[in-house]
Amino acid sequence: MRTNFILILMIGTIALNSCIHLPSNNKHDEIHAIIEKANSDFYLDSRIWYQDIQAEIAGETIILTGEAFYSIPVRGISRKLKKAGYDFEVIDNVHYLPEAFPGDLAYGIITEPYIMGRYKPVDHKQEGTEMLYGEPVRLIREKGDYLQVQSAIGYLGYIPKDALRRVNLQEWNRYQIGKQAVFISNDTLDNGVVIMMGSRLSYLENEKVLMADGEEVMLPQEHYKIIDPAVNPLRQEILTSAQQYLGLPYVWGGRSADGVDCSGFVMQCYALNNINLPRDSDEIANVGRMVGYPGWMDAMLPGDVLFFAGSRRMITHTAIYMGDGKVIHSLGKGVQIESMNPEDANYSESLERRFAFAKRIFE
């Protein structure tokens, strides 16, 4: 009888101590659910950008880990947690991409006729998209014998390290700015270099093109056609259309002359010039060719479309570039012109801080 009593007392003590000292997992589960939802709400095609944040919880400290391209949506997680009643200390240990590369050699020029970018650093399956000879790419990270790169159209992919020439930003710009020689058929040059139809190289002058290895080569124009994005009159026509909306109020979901939201505004400015874009900012962000990132705006031209990161999700705003750091967009008080140049009177610190990337929809 005494033994049974002692046994019951021990079980009761253990249960009581469990209630007192061992916290419920409910809070932890809810915190993880909030972060998982933030990753899901981030939404942008994972072939182009992604966010994969996890949390380690120690007492009333939350340590954010994982990977992301932008800090603004990650900081938004802290606000979501506080709004849910978790006034914990949040430590940001997230690994942000792209990684730093020595000597500013954070860019590359594809040197193969074409190379398949794959979603994983392996030499089979997981195909993403091919990159063509002379294509400028941004380096994201190294992994063994492979480099993860972001192609000119934005797709992420792993390619062998020897499939490109590493360059700094100044050299990379030579392939981005000015006239382009677009090859109109498959071509094998006298020096044995194979260039596939659709490849483009920087056109210098007098039938001289800039090869992927950095050599300047004379090449008759019968091999390619020359385009000059800077002189396309459609750029000014889009800006003219955009300025017709100046002063209209911001209307959520609006795309009429009574008011527009940010993506409705961009969509309509392009539609007035016979270019149809998707409806929402994060959908438009998947269209076109990359021409700008924070710290690299040299290649951007008037009429290009800019995208801005938000705390709720990856892309929450879009605008049309006017040149010299200025943008025209619909936000807050309505359609207006603001600048990302701190020296301008209409400078917007928020726009400059939130700028994520720019895309070129037409040449």
**Residue-wise pLDDT tens digits, 125-140:** 788 999 999 999 999 9
Euclidean distance between CA atoms 148 and 69, whole angstroms: 13
Tokens read off for 109: 């020029």
- What residues are annotated to the active site? 262, 317, 329
**What are the beta bridge partners of residue 205?**
208
Amino acid (1-letter code) at residue 193: V
Query: What pLDDT is recorded for position 193?
Result: 93
Residue 33: burial class (beta carbons within 10 Å; 0-12, 13-18, 19+): exposed
- Considering the entire predicted model, what is its pTM? 0.87
Sheet holding 136-143, edge to edge: 127-132, 114-118, 156-160, 146-150, 136-143, 107-110, 164-167
Q: What is the CA radius of gyration of the chain?
A: 26
Cα separation, 303 vs 247, in Å, equals: 19
Structure tokens at 74: 């990650």
Residue ranges in the chain whose pLDDT is less than 50: 1-23
Assigned CATH for 234-360: 3.90.1720.10
pLDDT tens digit sequence for 132-189 = 999 999 999 999 999 999 999 999 999 999 999 999 999 999 999 999 999 999 999 9
To the nearest 10°, the Cα dihedral for 249, 254, 257, 259? -10
Tokens of 95: 């690994």
Distance CA 5, CA 19 (A): 21
Q: Say which residues have a Cβ less than 8 Å from residue 348's Cβ, sequence separation at least 6.
A: 338, 339, 340
Class of the CATH-defined domain 19-96? alpha beta
Q: Which of 36, 79, 39, 41 is nearest to 316 (CA)?
A: 41
Place of tokens 């025209």: 328
Pick the CATH number of 102-227 from 2.30.30.40, 3.40.640.10, 3.40.1190.20, 3.60.20.10: 2.30.30.40
d(CA 295, CA 9): 68
Q: Where are the domains of the chain?
A: 19-96, 102-227, 234-360
Retrieve residue 327's tokens. Answer: 């943008």
Verify cis geometry, omega within 30 degrees of 0, for the bond prior to 98.
Answer: yes
β pairing state of 95-96 and 61-68: parallel
Which residues, including other chains, have CB under 8 Å from residue 334's CB and lie 6 or more apart?
Answer: 247, 248, 249, 250, 259
